[in-house]
Amino acid sequence: METWDALTARRNVRAYTDEPIPAEHLDRILEAARRAPSSRNTQPWDFVVVTEREGLRRLAEVWQGAGHVAHSAATIALVAPARESEGERVQYDLGQVTAHIMLTATDLGIGSGHSAVGDQALARELLGLPEDRVCAYLIALGYPADRPLRPIRNPNRRAFDDVVHRERW
Amino acid sequence: METWDALTARRNVRAYTDEPIPAEHLDRILEAARRAPSSRNTQPWDFVVVTEREGLRRLAEVWQGAGHVAHSAATIALVAPARESEGERVQYDLGQVTAHIMLTATDLGIGSGHSAVGDQALARELLGLPEDRVCAYLIALGYPADRPLRPIRNPNRRAFDDVVHRERW
Q: pLDDT value at position A88?
A: 85
pLDDT tens, residue by residue, B111-142: 999 999 999 999 999 999 999 999 999 999 99
Residue B84: which pLDDT band, with cuts at 50, 70 and 90?
low
Residue A120: which pLDDT band, with cuts at 50, 70 and 90?
very high
Min Cα distance B126 → chain A (Å) is 7
CATH of the domain at B100: 3.40.109.10
Tell whether the torsion through CA atoms of A95, B154, A132 and A40 is positive or negative.
negative
Query: Going by C-beta distance under 8 Å and a sequence separation of 6 or more, which residues neighbour residue B86?
Result: B44, B80
Determine, yes or no, domain membership for B110.
Answer: yes
Whether B86 shows a pLDDT value over 70: the answer reads no
Say whether A88 and B91 touch across the interface (CB within 8 A). yes
B117 is in which domain, residue-wise? 3-163
pLDDT tens, residue by residue, A78-106: 999 998 656 888 999 999 999 999 999 99
Single out the residue of A49, A81, B13 nearest to residue B21, CA to CA: B13
In whole angstroms, give the CA distance from residue B115 to residue B60. 9
Determine, yes or no, domain membership for A16.
Answer: yes
Determine, yes or no, domain membership for A35.
Answer: yes
**ipTM of predicted complex:** 0.97
Determine, yes or no, domain membership for A168.
Answer: no
In whole angstroms, give the CA distance from residue A45 to residue A100. 14
pLDDT tens, residue by residue, A3-17: 999 999 999 999 999
DSSP one-letter string for A140-154: EEE-BSS------SS
Determine, yes or no, domain membership for B168.
Answer: no
Using CB atoms, which residue from A7, A27, A93 is nearest to B100? A7
Q: pLDDT over 90 for what percent of chain B? A: 96
Collect all residues of chain B within an 8 Å Cβ-Cβ radius of residue A103: 3, 7, 99, 103
Say whether B6 and A8 touch across the interface (CB within 8 A). no
Q: pLDDT value at position A84?
A: 67
- How many CA atoms lie within 13 Å of A159's alpha carbon, on the beta-carbon side? 2
Q: pLDDT value at position B53?
A: 98
Determine, yes or no, domain membership for B57.
Answer: yes
Best probe of the A interface among B96, B122, B127, by most A CBs < 10 A, is B96
Q: pLDDT value at position B85?
A: 57
Say whether B28 and A4 touch across the interface (CB within 8 A). yes
Q: pLDDT value at position A3?
A: 98
Using CB atoms, which residue from A5, A104, A164 is nearest to B49? A164
In whole angstroms, give the CA distance from residue A79 to residue B122. 36
What integer is the mean pLDDT of B85-105? 92
Collect all residues of chain B within an 8 Å Cβ-Cβ radius of residue A45: 163
Using CB atoms, which residue from A10, A48, A158 is nearest to B169? A48
Determine, yes or no, domain membership for B88.
Answer: yes
Determine, yes or no, domain membership for B128.
Answer: yes
What integer is the mean pLDDT of A56-77? 98
Say whether B35 and A7 touch across the interface (CB within 8 A). yes
pLDDT tens, residue by residue, B9-27: 999 999 999 999 999 999 9
Number of domains in chain A: 1
Q: pLDDT value at position A85?
A: 58
Whether B109 shows a pLDDT value over 70: the answer reads yes
Interhelix angle A23-34/A87-107, rounded to 10 degrees, is 140
Contact A143, A16 (CB under 8 A): yes
Query: Going by C-beta distance under 8 Å and a sequence separation of 6 or more, which residues neighbour residue A1?
Result: A9, A106, A107, B2, B3
Mean pLDDT rounded to a whole number for chain B: 96
Tell me the backbone φ, ψ of residue A122, rounded to 5 degrees. Answer: -65, -45
Prediction pTM value:
0.98
Sheet holding A164-166, edge to edge: A164-166, B46-50, B74-81, B133-142, B111-115
Say whether A164 and B95 touch across the interface (CB within 8 A). no
Collect all residues of chain B within an 8 Å Cβ-Cβ radius of residue A133: 169
Q: pLDDT over 90 for what percent of chain A? A: 96
Displacement of CA B10 from its chain's centroid (Å): 12
Sheet holding A74-81, edge to edge: A111-115, A133-142, A74-81, A46-50, B164-166
Using CB atoms, which residue from A31, A89, A128 is nearest to B168? A128
